[in-house]
Copies of this chain bind each other. A is one copy, B any other.
């Protein structure tokens, strides 16, 4: 209630990606500048030893301007990922209607993976020795994880004709997202020779979808 997670989606970014209403003072170049400054500083000093003041200062803006663009310091660790996650509703909408629930689930996750840019690997992972932000990275990750799982849950409920709160639906979406994340992390940690993200995700997610297919694709028990 206090800080982020206002929207409900995974993305925590303070300001919308696109220019908001018309009129008003135009944004300076700030956002990109801040990202770059932060990246440099993280590499130089590590995440923990870098303060928001320093980032703002190097970017040549005031401290408050930082919070105008990012709700949290840890948002900087999820730059490209948040972009992809923001696209989830769009991805869900394009999943063909005829599919069985478990297949639709699979399709949705793969759609997300396909959309993600091949170079979009969080700094915290690609440079993790230098940055040393594993702990923060993890802690800030769950919010995103749960956001996706929840969104996927309502999608899955609709596709399977079940109630949104159905335990089976929730378990399936949680497990599937966990597999997705695990696969994506493995992919990100592989060197340059890594293949397509979608392949890694498929390997990780497929078993989950198969596992839940039996229960999920059957008609829901009328009551309960």
Contact = CB atoms under 8 A, between A and B. Distances in A.
Nearest to A4: B135
* Identical copies in the complex: 2
Contacts of A58: none
Contacts of A177: 178
A174 B178 contact: yes
A142 interface: yes
A96 interface: no
B186 A182 contact: no
Overall SS of chain A's interface: helix
Given A139-B139, A175-B179, A176-B175, A186 B207 contact: no
Interface stretch (A22-30, A36-44, A115-123, A209-217): A209-217
Interface residues of A, number: 46
Interface string A132-165: 1011001111110110010000000000000000
A139 B143 contact: yes
A2 interface: yes
Contact of A48 (B2, B143, B214): B2
Contact of A139 (B140, B170, B178, B210): B140
A161 B183 CA distance: 20
Contact of A142 (B141, B149, B209): B141
Contacts of A1: 48, 132, 134-135
20 contacts: A1-B48, A1-B135, A4-B135, A5-B135, A138-B142, A138-B143, A139-B139, A139-B140, A139-B142, A149-B178, A167-B182, A167-B186, A168-B204, A170-B182, A171-B204, A171-B205, A174-B181, A175-B175, A175-B182, A175-B208
Per CB-CB distance, the 4 closest pairs between chain A and chain B, nearest first, are A211-B211, A142-B142, A178-B178, A171-B204
Interface of A: 1-5, 48, 132, 134-135, 138-143, 145-146, 149, 167-168, 170-172, 174-179, 181-183, 185-186, 200, 203-205, 207-212, 214-215
